[in-house]
Amino acid sequence: MKAASNYPKPALTVDCVIFGYEKGSLQILLVRRGIEPFKGSWALPGGFVKLDETLDEAAKRELREETGVENIYMEQLYTFGGIERDPRERVVSVAYFALVKLSEVREVKDSTDAEEAKWFDIKKLPVLAFDHRHILQTAMERLKGKITYKPIVFELLPAKFVFSDVESIYETILNEPLNRRNFRTKMLATGLLEELDERVTHVSFRPPKLFRFNKKKYQKLNAKEINLRF
């Protein structure tokens, strides 16, 4: 049997699809590459995995370096191993997707391979480097499926929100209108939304009540799935 050192080794990277949400727009954080290949093009944040870190550690590090945020909802998405996906060498990438509150994300730090970072509406994306368009499409399909059985959309909303914000974010991600009466009934039936004795201020019309997601209650339920299919 040949020793492991006798086999050629592909490089390993992580790429992060970072979703944000604002006023009916699903946003994606992209970085402009400062080096070749694809210098000047927009790409997903990411980089090479170090020898002394796990995949999860690498993804968290890249996310922290590119956005400055930590301790957010993130999960492994898929492994992309197209033979010619990187013109430099054979590169396999493990992709992650993350959900962040836009108010918590600052601009990218100066680095050797990124000149700037910018949020883009998912419907108005520039041409992306490498196979990052395919990675993004895969993440979008995962997100659409995930929100029908896990309440992860609340990772995108502020701590307090009006119910119409919840309706809007589901319609934006699913890209289709909801039966709002049915949606409200099912969402409130989960018992995971806490209606507050507070209302929106500084509005000319009758101010709606505020809600918050009861994360502790969801964790106590120890439920892998809840019925959020509308």
Catalytic residue list: 116
What b/e string do you get for 166-196 counting C-beta neighbours within 10 Å, with b at 16 or more?
bbbbbebbeeeebeeeebbeebeebebbeee
Interacting residues of 12 by C-beta distance below 8 A, sequence separation 6+: 48, 49, 91, 92, 93, 94
Neighbours of 129 (CB within 10 A): 20
Backbone angles phi, psi at 28, to 5 degrees: -125, 135
> Which residue, among 8, 28, 31, 32, has the nearest Cα to 18 in the 3D structure?
28
Give first-to-last CA distance, the chain, whole Å.
55
Q: What is the Cα–Cα distance from 62 to 165, expressed in whole angstroms?
A: 30
Backbone angles phi, psi at 202, to 5 degrees: 60, 45
> Which residue, among 24, 42, 25, has the nearest Cα to 33 in the 3D structure?
42
Q: What is the Cα–Cα distance from 156 to 16, expressed in whole angstroms?
A: 16
